[in-house]
Each structure stands twice: as structure tokens, then as C-alpha cells.
């Protein structure tokens, strides 16, 4: 803890937060209880009563974080925050230390990643501090095309930027433990060479000055273990991504500021766009196995929150630099991709339950874990709450209809119910108003006041439309997590590709059915009282349409032209984002596979051989294993399509096989080669992607 900051002030902030959220929840609960007075109570009402505090508590927490963030913003930020402490006055004199910029990738869009690295390199170069930084592209890609393209892109980058010995490429043969395993692998191999690592996602970009400032912040504050930045979501083309980046820009800031206000030095870590002190990370932050009987479920899927907790357990601070500029990421381009990501996150957050009661974890981290858990658990709770509430309403209406005297009918009127409704709406929507208020001094950057307002209204409308859809999916994900269905670390689609209407109908059609059936049942049993369910049921009915519309790149471009959902990074584009916008190539023909060029193109083969030779065991002329020999022959005789991904990877990992195949594929007459090799041979010198990486001057 920083000495200039009184310990009691932390306690006051946390008491205000925990006390405030408890008080708000208790008030809501009291209003709910009172609304039942004088009424018959049915079994479903007990479910409603039991679940209400959990749901209302979440809303209260969100509201308070936004309120604290807004108040903190009004006073110009927390003067005791790490990034506002006295070291900033002598910032330029703080020395830098060896820092690795680590970018773990997994079948990501290679051109986008390499362009990001190039931009960061150029930005860092301008700071004049390049000597302190090295880049590491750490790949877990298991698609042969991605692997080979990464190698070509790495060589291209090194040559273009004259960065040999500064940009490194590492491909893991056995990608165990996903991203956290990839980072741990870097730490074990090269961690000792560096004092810090800046961890980025494949879609992350940071400006040079920001990286330099973060490292200086760490160097000036040796008690800090992790310094997390709040990346701005950028480069959205589809309406969905634009909605996300707009809400992130307008509302995200005050939430982060509020979190930071409460958490201070026990902040969050999101696994990317953060700088980490490597030595304690190596010593204390390797992820423990979960104590579950099934060995395949012991690995911690969502590593960041746990790593932050372990870092703090070791006595180091974790801070969020919520207002640092020059740090960016991209959001999911459409609802389907967000669901894919949420499925992974949900499984990870559910696992965090184990750490909730673990010994030695700080209170701030427990709170973080709880909020993360409830982010997904709230969905099934909300669903059960809705069903129980609807059944309760039906029971009550039927009871009153059959047994009501005039005095019973009067009992239906409760002044507490409207109060509770108003309070809930305030807690839900006031943070949005506070967010808009905090954006008012920068309205020009959002396209002007009216556009900011219009964008906020449309964003709110879409949030109302999307939230019930997410609720159903999150409920499914929670059930999957509880029953142990496997969730893999899948690649996030970062290109703004539109979803087809057939995909939307297939994935979301069941929600439409559920919405129509629910609406009919609600009208039949509840009559006019079903109105409060209508927004949810309509959102379900429109789910395929919402998913389809929000993924449409054409609509996204129109929104942009109308000046809606404009963010500051679009009004004044930073140089670090140059060339990163994904091109609209939805109608482009699928490219030929690239990996066969590792066997045909002399340059690609040479680069690949140089990479794998050191790691394949030489046979010194001995024959390969019969299974490998069979694979080779199958590839030659039956073509590249005949092999499975696993088999291709096995061939590509064996240096002698790669060389043997190179000779055979060029030397054998057509009669002894599969017909698919001929066009690949001809293409070897013409492949557009290869020419981009290898030939372009």
C-alpha cells in the first residue's frame, strides 16, 4: 500500500461500496416484501423472494460503481492513484528496464497481427527507447495454414523493420494449458532476460509512449506487480462492434474509474494490455490445478483473475490505469462471436468459485471473483425469477378472481410496487446517464451532442433487445459449465463478417419459437398483466433478426456515415491503428491452402526448416517410422486434402520429412503424383499471400 494514502481511506471507500450496495439491496427487498403484505403468498413467491436480493444486489453494485466513478471523474480523478503520484513529476528521468512485449496467438488473422506489431514498433521507435523492448509472437496455432503464414509474416516483419534479434517467433509443439500455458512457456524460457512483460492479445495495440510510461510506472513503484490499462475498443465496422465500442467509450470509463476507486491497489487484471513484473509472476503466479476429481477439468480456463489474486497474495499490488490513452483492443464483430467468447469466459468464471473461499486471497479479489461469477450466474437466476414471478402472478390473479371480496381486490394496489419499479429503473439507467454526462465535455469526439444522444438512445434500445437473448444463452453456458461439457479455447473472429440469415435462424430460431409460445401463454393466463414480460418475449422473438442486423457490415457503414456510434478514435484516428481495419472481403474467393507451400516454395520451406530443424530429432539417414512414411506417401499420392490436420502437423514438425517431400513433390512425374499438386506447383511463385510476405519490396 502506498504510504501517502491513509489506510483508513481504503476502508472508508470499501465500506461505502459494500454498505451502499447492501443498503440498496435491503431497501429493494423491503419494498418487495411490503408489496406482498395482505396478499396470499404462493410457493413461487418464495423463489422470487430468495432470488431477488441476488439480482438486485448485482444492479446495485453496477450502479454504485458507476456513481463512484462519476464522482471521481467530477473531482478530476483519484489524486492517490498510482498514475497520479509524485513519480509522474520526474517521469522522464525514471529509467526503463528490459521489457518483452508478448503476443500469444491462436489461429488469428496473421496480417492483422503483424500489422499491429509493425505499428507498435514504429510508435516505439519514435520514443527513442526501442533498445529496452523486444517483441515475442508466441503461437499456439494448430491450423497448418496459420502456422506457415505466421512464419512468413515474422520473416517479413523482421526484414521490413530490420528487426532481427528484436522480434522473435515461438511456436509451441504441444499447446498445453492454452493461453496461460503459452505465456508460462515464454516465462520459463526467456522470463529471466526481462524485468517486465507487456502482455497483449492478438487484437491489442499499444502506443509506444504508453508502453514507455507503463514501464516507468512499474520501475518507479517496485511494489506494483501488475498494471492493467483500460483498452479502448476500436475498429468496429459491424453495428454490433460499433455498439460495443460506443458503450465502452461512453459508459466503460466511469465503471472502470469506479472499480479503481474502490479497489485501488487490489485491482483487476484482464489478461491483456497490461504490464507485469516477471520475477514475482514466475515465482507466484503459475496457476494451481483445481481440486476436482476429473483430471481434464483441473486446468484454470480463465487465468487473469486468478493471476491477479496470486500476485496480491504474494504481496504485490495490482492497479488499473483506467485513463491511460494509447491502448486498444477489438470487440467481437457479431452476437455469435460474442457468445462463443462468453461460453469460454463463463466456463472460466464458474471455475473461479474454487478461489472464492481459498485461504490467503484478498478481500478485493474475492469481490472481483464474486462479481465475475454473478455476471453469468445472474442469467439462470433471472430466468427462474421470471418464470416464478409469472406463475406467482397467475396464481394471485386466479386466487383473487375466485375468492375476492372487495377488500381483497383492494389489496392488489400496493404503493411499494411502483416505487420498486422506479428504483430498479433508476439503478439500471442512471449509470448510462452518468456515462453520457461524463462524455459531454468531449461531445465533438462523439460526433456532436445530438449524435451522442441519439447513439445512446439506439444503444440502449439494442441493449434491451439483446440482454434477454444473452440471458438464455448464458443460462445454457452455466448449465454446460456445471455439468462439465468441455469448452475449448477457440479463436475469436476479429474480422467484421456479416452473419447469414440462415445461420441466425439456425442459432437463434429456437428463441423466436420460445418468445411466441411465451407470449401466447402469457396472454392466455395473465392477460394484461403480461405486459411486463413483453420486452423480454419480443426480444426473444426478434433474436435472429437482431443478430443478423447487428452483424451487417453494410448497416455498420451506414451508421458510420450518419455519424452514429462515433468514438474518439474515429474522430481523431491514432497512428497506431493505421491499416488495421479489416477489408470487406466477404465476396472474395477462398484462397488456396498455404501450408503446401512449406513443401514446395523454396523460401517458405527454408524458413520453416530453419524453425523446426533445431527441434526435430535428426535420424541421421535412418528410415522414418512406418506411420510417418505412410503419411508421406499418402500426401504425395492422395493430395493435401487426404490428410487430417493432426497428420499434416506431424509431417510439418519433422524437418527431414519436409525436405523429403520437397524433393519428391518436385521430382516425381505427374503419373506418380496426385493431380492436386500440379496447380500448387504452378502457384508456388504466384501465391498472392506469399508474394505479399516474401516478394514485396
Partner 1 sequence: MELYLASMNTSSDKTTDNEQAAWNQAHDRLRDFLNAFALGDHAQVSRLTLKLLDQAREQHRQDPSRDPVSLAMAQAQKLVQEWFAANLEMRDQAPSELLASGCVALFLSRAFRSAPERFLTAPLPENLKESMHQTLLVTGPDLKISSMTPRHLDYGPMLDLARRTWHRWNPREIVIALIFWAGVYFVFYWWLSEAL
Q: Pick from 86, 165, 405, 441: which binds partner 1 (CB under 8 A)? A: 165
Q: Pick from 603, 647, 649, 650: which binds partner 1 (CB under 8 A)? A: 603
Give the footprint of partner 1 on residues 558-597 (CB under 8 A): none
Give the footprint of partner 1 on residues 415-454 (CB under 8 A): none
Per-residue contact flags (x/-) with partner 1 for residues 622 to 661, judged by CB under 8 A? ---------------------------------xx--x--
The verdict on 360 binding partner 1 (CB under 8 A) reads yes
Helical H segments across 412-542, by residue range? 416-439, 449-483, 501-526, 534-541
Please state, as a whole number, how many other Cβ atoms lie within 10 Å of the Cβ of residue 390. 20
The verdict on 170 binding partner 1 (CB under 8 A) reads yes
Q: Which is nearer to partner 1, 366 or 560 (CB)?
A: 366
The verdict on 663 binding partner 1 (CB under 8 A) reads yes
The verdict on 609 binding partner 1 (CB under 8 A) reads yes
Q: Hey, CA dihedral for 467, 472, 477, 481, is it positive or negative?
A: positive
The verdict on 289 binding partner 1 (CB under 8 A) reads yes
| Span near partner 1 by CB under 8 A; candidates 9-17, 110-118, 328-336, 684-692 | 684-692
- Minimum gap (Å) between residue 692 Cβ and partner 1: 12
Side-by-side strand order, sheet with 196-199: 167-171, 133-139, 99-105, 196-199, 274-277, 224-229, 317-321
DSSP 567: -
Measured N-to-C along each axis, helices 645-653 and 602-612 cross at an angle, to the nearest 10 degrees, of 80
- Minimum gap (Å) between residue 41 Cβ and partner 1: 6
**Residues forming beta bridges with residue 321, ordered by sequence position:** 229
The verdict on 157 binding partner 1 (CB under 8 A) reads no
Q: Which is nearer to partner 1, 281 or 328 (CB)?
A: 281
Q: Which is nearer to partner 1, 51 or 611 (CB)?
A: 611
The verdict on 49 binding partner 1 (CB under 8 A) reads yes
Q: Which is nearer to partner 1, 443 or 681 (CB)?
A: 681
- Minimum gap (Å) between residue 697 Cβ and partner 1: 7
Give the C-alpha separation, 409 to 412, whole Å: 6
Per-residue contact flags (x/-) with partner 1 for residues 246 to 285, judged by CB under 8 A? ------------------------------------xxx-
Strands 274-277 vs 224-229: parallel, antiparallel or unpaired = antiparallel
Strands 196-199 vs 232-233: parallel, antiparallel or unpaired = unpaired
Q: Quick one: cell of 652?
A: 510439418
Please state, as a whole number, how many other Cβ atoms lie within 10 Å of the Cβ of residue 646. 8
DSSP 231: P
The verdict on 354 binding partner 1 (CB under 8 A) reads yes
Give the C-alpha separation, 459 to 457, whole Å: 5
Q: Pick from 56, 168, 394, 540: which binds partner 1 (CB under 8 A)? A: 168
Q: Are 146 and 110 a contacting pair, CB within 8 Å?
A: yes
The verdict on 287 binding partner 1 (CB under 8 A) reads yes
State how far the alpha carbon of 182 is from the alpha carbons of 102, 115, 490, in Å. Answer: 10, 22, 15
Q: Quick one: cell of 563?
A: 455519424
- Minimum gap (Å) between residue 141 Cβ and partner 1: 15
Give the footprint of partner 1 on residues 312-341 (CB under 8 A): none
Give the footprint of partner 1 on residues 181-200 (CB under 8 A): 184, 187-193
The verdict on 298 binding partner 1 (CB under 8 A) reads no
Per-residue contact flags (x/-) with partner 1 for residues 26 to 45, judged by CB under 8 A? -------x--xxxx-x-x--
Q: Are 495 and 109 a contacting pair, CB within 8 Å?
A: yes
Which residues in 179-218 are b (16+ Cβ under 10 Å) and which e? bbbbbbbbbeebbeebbbbbbbbbbbbbbbbbbbbbbbbb
The verdict on 691 binding partner 1 (CB under 8 A) reads yes
The verdict on 98 binding partner 1 (CB under 8 A) reads no
Q: Pick from 561, 669, 675, 688: which binds partner 1 (CB under 8 A)? A: 669
Give the footprint of partner 1 on residues 457-486 (CB under 8 A): none
Give the C-alpha separation, 215 to 221, whole Å: 10
Radius of gyration of the chain (CA): 28
Amino acid at each position: 500500500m502506498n504510504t501517502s494514502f491513509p489506510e483508513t481511506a481504503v476502508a472508508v471507500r470499501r465500506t461505502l461500496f459494500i454498505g451502499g450496495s447492501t443498503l440498496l439491496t435491503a431497501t429493494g427487498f423491503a419494498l418487495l416484501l411490503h408489496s406482498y403484505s395482505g396478499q396470499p403468498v404462493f410457493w413461487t413467491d418464495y423463489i422470487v423472494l430468495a432470488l431477488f436480493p441476488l439480482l438486485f444486489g448485482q444492479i446495485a453494485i453496477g450502479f454504485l460503481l458507476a456513481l463512484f466513478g462519476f464522482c471521481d471523474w467530477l473531482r478530476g480523478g483519484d489524486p492517490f492513484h498510482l498514475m497520479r503520484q509524485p513519480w509522474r513529476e520526474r517521469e522522464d528521468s525514471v529509467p526503463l528496464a528490459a521489457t518483452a512485449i508478448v503476443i500469444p496467438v491462436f489461429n488469428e488473422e496473421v496480417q492483422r497481427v503483424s500489422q499491429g506489431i509493425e505499428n507498435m514498433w514504429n510508435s516505439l521507435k519514435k520514443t527513442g527507447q526501442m533498445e529496452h523492448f523486444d517483441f515475442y509472437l508466441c503461437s499456439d496455432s494448430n491450423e497448418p495454414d496459420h502456422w506457415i503464414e505466421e512464419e512468413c509474416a515474422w520473416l517479413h516483419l523482421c526484414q521490413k523493420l530490420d528487426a532481427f534479434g528484436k522480434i522473435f517467433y515461438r511456436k509451441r509443439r504441444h499447446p498445453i494449458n492454452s493461453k496461460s500455458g503459452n505465456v508460462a512457456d515464454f516465462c520459463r524460457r526467456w522470463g529471466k532476460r526481462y524485468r517486465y512483460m507487456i502482455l497483449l492479445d492478438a487484437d491489442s495495440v499499444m502506443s509506444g509512449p504508453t508502453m514507455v510510461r507503463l514501464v516507468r510506472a512499474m520501475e518507479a513503484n517496485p511494489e506494483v506487480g501488475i498494471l492493467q490499462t483500460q483498452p479502448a475498443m476500436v475498429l468496429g465496422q459491424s453495428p454490433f462492434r460499433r455498439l460495443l465500442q460506443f458503450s465502452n467509450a461512453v459508459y466503460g470509463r466511469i465503471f472502470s474509474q469506479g472499480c479503481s476507486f474502490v479497489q485501488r491497489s487490489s485491482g483487476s487484471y484482464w489478461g491483456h494490455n497490461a504490464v507485469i513484473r516477471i520475477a514475482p509472476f514466475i515465482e507466484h503466479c503459475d496457476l494451481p490445478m483445481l481440486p476436482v476429481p476429473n483430471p481434464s477439468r483441473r486446468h484454470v480456463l480463465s487465468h487473469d483473475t486468478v493471476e491477479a489474486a496470486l500476485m496480491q497474495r504474494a504481496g504485490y499490488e495490482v492497479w488499473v490505469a483506467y485513463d491511460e490513452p494509447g491502448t486498444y483492443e477489438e470487440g467481437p464483430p457479431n452476437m455469435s462471436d460474442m457468445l462463443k467468447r462468453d461460453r469460454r469466459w463463463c466456463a472460466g468464471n464458474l471455475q473461479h468459485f474454487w478461489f472464492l473461499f481459498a485461504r490467503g486471497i484478498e478481500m478485493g479479489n474475492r469481490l472481483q471473483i464474486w462479481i465475475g461469477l454473478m455476471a453469468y450466474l445472474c442469467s439462470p437466476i433471472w430466468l427462474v425469477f421470471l418464470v416464478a414471478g409469472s406463475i406467482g402472478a397467475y396464481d394471485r390473479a386466479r386466487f383473487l378472481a375466485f375468492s375476492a371480496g372487495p377488500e381483497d381486490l383492494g389489496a392488489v394496489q400496493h404503493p411499494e410496487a411502483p416505487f420498486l419499479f422506479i428504483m430498479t429503473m433508476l439503478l439500471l439507467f442512471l449509470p448510462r446517464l452518468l456515462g453520457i454526462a461524463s462524455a459531454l465535455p468531449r461531445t465533438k469526439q462523439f460526433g456532436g451532442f445530438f449524435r451522442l444522444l441519439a447513439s445512446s438512445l439506439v444503444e440502449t434500445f439494442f441493449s434491451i433487445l439483446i440482454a434477454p437473448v444473452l440471458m438464455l444463452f448464458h443460462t445454457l453456458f452455466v448449465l454446460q459449465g456445471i455439468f462439465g461439457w468441455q469448452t475449448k479455447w477457440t479463436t475469436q473472429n476479429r474480422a467484421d463478417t456479416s452473419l447469414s440469415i440462415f445461420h441466425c435462424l439456425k442459432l437463434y430460431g429456437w428463441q423466436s419459437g420460445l418468445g411466441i409460445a411465451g407470449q401466447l401463454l402469457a396472454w392466455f393466463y395473465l392477460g394484461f398483466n403480461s405486459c411486463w414480460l413483453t420486452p423480454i418475449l419480443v426480444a426473444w422473438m426478434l433474436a435472429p433478426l437482431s443478430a443478423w442486423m447487428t452483424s451487417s457490415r453494410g448497416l455498420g457503414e451506414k451508421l458510420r456515415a450518419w455519424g452514429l456510434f462515433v468514438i474518439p478514435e474515429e474522430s481523431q484516428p491514432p497512428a497506431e491503428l493505421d491499416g488495421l481495419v479489416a477489408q470487406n472481403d466477404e465476396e472474395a474467393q477462398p484462397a488456396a491452402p498455404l501450408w503446401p507451400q512449406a513443401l514446395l516454395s523454396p523460401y517458405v520451406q527454408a524458413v520453416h526448416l530453419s524453425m523446426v530443424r533445431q527441434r526435430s530429432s535428426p535420424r541421421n539417414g535412418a528410415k522414418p517410422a512406418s506411420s510417418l512414411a505412410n503419411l508421406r506417401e499418402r500426401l504425395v499420392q492422395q493430395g493435401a486434402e487426404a490428410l487430417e490436420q493432426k497428420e499434416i502437423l506431424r509431417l510439418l514438425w519433422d524437418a527431414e520429412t519436409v525436405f523429403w517431400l520437397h524433393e519428391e513433390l518436385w521430382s516425381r512425374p505427374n503419373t506418380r503424383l496426385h493431380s492436386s499438386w500440379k496447380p500448387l506447383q504452378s502457384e508456388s511463385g504466384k501465391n498472392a499471400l506469399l508474394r505479399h510476405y516474401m516478394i514485396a519490396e
